[in-house]
Structure 1
Amino acid sequence: MKRSGEVVVNQVVLGVMAVLVLAPVVVFLLTALSPDISGRPALTQLTWGNFVEAWHVADLGRAMGVSLTISVCAVAGQLLLALLGGFAFGVLGVTGEKVLFPVLLLGMMISTEAIIVPLYFQFRDVGLVGTLPGILLIHLGMGVPFGVFWLRAAFRALPRSVFEAAELDGAGPLTTLRLLGAPMVRPAIYTLALLSFMWTWNDYFLSLVFLQGDLQPATVALGSFQGRYTTQINLLAAAGLIVAAPVLGLYVLFQRRFIAGMLAGSIKE
C-alpha cells in the first residue's frame, strides 16, 4: 500500500513539473500562430503562414544553411579530437598528465568575454575574421577541452582488463580505440555530439563578432530580424521556433541515447 502511495505521489509531481515545463512552450507556439501582430493567442484562427513569412523576411534559409555548416563541421572536429584526447588521458596515460590535463581544463574555465578582444585582433592579423575557418577554430578551441574531459571520464569507467587484453593480442592504440573504445562509450559520444551541436548552433556572441554579411548564422539573423520587427510579436515567435527546431528535433530523436550518455560513467565497474 505504501508503495502504491509513493507511485501516485511521484506521478503527480512529475505531471505538475511537465505542465510547468510545457505550458510556456504551448503559449509560445500559439503566439507564433496568432493572426494578431501583438501575439495574442487565437485558438479558432491559427495562421501557419506566419512561419512562411518569417522564413522569407528574415532570410532564414541562407542563415540556417550557414549555421548547419558551422555546427556539423565543429561537431565532427570536436568529436575526433575529444576521442583521441579522452582515450589518451583515460586509457593510455600521458606523460605529464597531472600538469597537462589541468592546463587543458583551463579552456573550460576562461569565459569568452575575457578573451574576445585579443582573440579578435589576433584573428584579424592572420585574416581569419569574417571566415568560416576562423569561427570553426574558435569553436574547436572552446569545445575540445570539455569533450576530452567528458570522454576521459567515460573511458576511465570501463574495465581496464578489456584494453589490456587487446594490447596483449597485439592491437595498437588506434585499433583499440576504433574497435573497442569508441563502441563501448557510444552513449557518451552521442551525448557529446548533441551538446556540441546545441552549443554551436545557439552561439550568438562569437558569430556576431567574427562573421559578417552572408556568413551570419541563424541566431544573428534572428537578432537582426528582431531589431527590425520589434512590434510583430507573432512573426518573432515564428522565427524563434524555426531557429530552435533543429536542436529540438535532434533531442526528440536521440533523447534515449542522450540520457544514457549522461548516466554513462556514473557507475564504475
Structure 2
Amino acid sequence: MTTLQSAPATAALSPAPPARRSPGLLKRLAGRSTGGLVRLGLLIIALFWMVPTLGLLVSSLRKPLDIQASGWWSIFTAPASLTLHNYTSLLANPAISRSVANSIMITVPATLLVVIIGALAAYIFAWVEFPGRDVVFLIVVGLLVVPIQVALIPVTDLFAKVGIFGSIASVVLFHVAFGLPFAIFLLRNFFAQIPQELLEAARLDGAGELRLFTRVVLPLGGPAIASLAIFQFLWVWNDMLVALIFANSSAAPLTVALTEQTRQFGTNIDVLSSGAFLSMIIPLVVFFAFQRQFVSGLTAGALK
C-alpha cells in the first residue's frame, strides 16, 4: 500500500513538461522554402529575366518593315511572318562572316593558352619549392588590380616595334597576358587543397613532376579548369576595347564588326538583332558544353 500511494504523489510533484511553442513566421517560411511555391516563384523570375532575350530572338526573325510597324510581342498573333532572311543576309556579308571566323581564331587560342600556362604556373606555385615563391606569387596576385587601360599605349608601341600590331596575334597575346594573373590565382588556390599525401604516394610510385601534373593534379582540378575556361572564353569573346585598338579591319572580331554596322546603318535593327543574337548564342553553346565537363570534373574529384 505504501508503494502504491507514493507513486501518484511523486508524479504529482514532478514538473509538467514545457508547452511546445508554435514555430515563428521565419521558421515557417524557411520550412516552405523547398516547396513548390518557391520553385514557382523562381520560375516566374527566370521567365521575366528571359524576356529581353526572347524579344531579341523574335526581332532577329522578323522582317524590317514588321519591326518598324509593331512590337515583337505581336508575333504571337502572326507566327507565320517569322523568317531566316536576316541571318542569311548577315552571313552573306563578307565582313560579318570574316569577323565570326576572327572571333573564333582569337577566343580559342587565348582560352587554351591561359588554361595551359595558368595550370602549369599554378602547380609550380602550389607544390614546387623554390626561393622567392611567395613573393613572386604576391606580385602575380597584385597584377589583378592593374587595369588594362594602363597598358594599352605601352603595349601598342611594343607590338608596333615587333611588327604584329593590327594582327590577330596581337589581340591574343594581350588577352593571354591579362588573363594569366586571374588564372594562376584561381588554379593555385584550388591545387593547394589537394591532399599532400596523394602527391607523395604518386612520387613514391616513381611519378615525375610532369606525370604527377597530368595524371593527378589535372583530373582533380577539372572543376576549376572548366570554370576558368568558361570565364576566359566569355571575357575574350565579348571584348571590344582590346580588339578595337589592336586589330585592323581584316582581323576585327564580331563585336567590332557589329559596331561598324551600327555606325553605317543607324536604324538597321534587323541586322543588329540577328548579329547580336549570333554573338550571344555561341558563348551559350560553349557554356553548356563546358558545364557537362564541369559536372564530370566534380564527380571525378569526389571519387578520387
* Fold-level similarity (TM above 0.5): yes
> 1:110 & 1:261 partners in 2: Cα distance?
32
- The within-5 A match list for 1:49-88 is 49-57=85-93, 59-88=95-124
Residues 102 and 251 in structure 2, CA contact (< 8 A), matched pair in contact too: yes
User: Equivalent residue of 1:170, what SS?
Assistant: coil
> Which of these residues, 3, 7, 20, is aligned with residue 48 of structure 2?
20
The aligned counterpart of 1:147 is 183
Relative to 1, partners in 2 of residues 1:100 and 1:233: Cα closer, same or farther, differing over 3 Å? same
Query: What's the counterpart of residue 207 of structure 1?
Result: 243
* TM-score, normalization by structure 2: 0.80
More moved, 36-45 vs 139-148 = 36-45
Q: Which runs of 5+ in 1 are unaligned?
A: none
1:164 aligns with 2:200: yes
Paired with 2:173 and 2:97, the residues of 1 have a C-alpha distance of 24
Q: Which amino acid aligns with 1:178?
A: T
CA distance in 2 between partners of 1:24 and 1:259 (Å): 29
Per the TM alignment, residue 125 of structure 1 is displaced from its structure 2 partner at its CA by 2.0
**Equivalent residue number for residue 11 of structure 2:** none
Alpha-carbon separation, structure 2, partners of 1:9 and 1:156: 41
Q: Distance in 2 between matches of 1:152 and 1:238?
A: 40
In 1, the alpha carbon distance for the partners of 2:116 and 2:208 equals 18
* 1:173 aligned partner: 209
- Residue 132 and residue 235 in structure 1: after superposition, are their counterparts in 2 closer, same or farther (change >3 A)? closer
The alpha-carbon deviation at position 94 of structure 1 amounts to 4.1
Q: Report the AA paired with residue 40 of structure 1.
A: G
Cα distance, 1:201–1:94 mapped onto 2, change above 3 Å: farther
Q: How does 1:237-248 map to 2 (within 5 A)?
A: 237-248=273-284
Structure-2 separation of matches of 1:133 and 1:113 = 19
8 Å Cα contact 2:219-2:297 kept in structure 1: no
The count of aligned residue pairs is: 266
Please name the residue that 1:10 is paired with. Answer: 38
Larger RCO (CA within 8 A; separation ≥ 6)? 1
Residue correspondence of structure 1 range 54-133 to structure 2 within 5 A: 54-57=90-93, 59-133=95-169
Query: What is the CA distance between 1:108 and its match in structure 2?
Result: 1.8
Alpha-carbon displacement from aligned partner over 1:225-264 (angstroms, at most 9, x marks no partner): 12112202122111111122210111123334447879x9
In the TM superposition, what is the alpha-carbon distance from 1:12 to its structure 2 partner? 2.9
Q: 2: distance between equivalents of 1:7 and 1:121?
A: 60
Q: CA deviation at 1:55?
A: 2.2
For the pair 1:198 / 2:234, whether they are aligned, the reply is: yes
Q: Give RMSD over aligned pairs.
A: 2.6
Asked if structure 1 preserves the Cα contact closer than 8 Å seen for 2:59 and 2:67, the reply is no
- Stretches of structure 2 that go unaligned for 5 or more consecutive residues are 1-27
Distance 1:132 1:234 in 2: 29
Larger radius of gyration: 2
Q: TM-score, normalised by structure 1?
A: 0.89
* Structure 1 residues 205 and 259, CA gap change in structure 2 (3 angstroms): farther
Q: Could you tell me how far apart the structure 2 residues matched to 1:72 and 1:184 are?
A: 23
Give the 3 Å change call, closer, same or farther, for CA 7–256 of structure 1 in structure 2: farther
By how many angstroms is 1:58 displaced? 6.6
SS in 2 for 1:70: helix
Counterpart AA for 2:233 = F
Over the matched positions of the two proteins, sequence identity in percent amounts to: 28
- Within 2, Cα distance between the matches of 1:150 and 1:5? 33
Q: State the shift of 1:199 in Å.
A: 1.2
Return the alpha-carbon distance in structure 2 between the equivalents of residues 37 and 20 of structure 1: 22
Secondary structure of the structure 2 residue equivalent to 1:95? coil
Q: Is the 8 A contact 1:229 1:236 kept in 2?
A: no
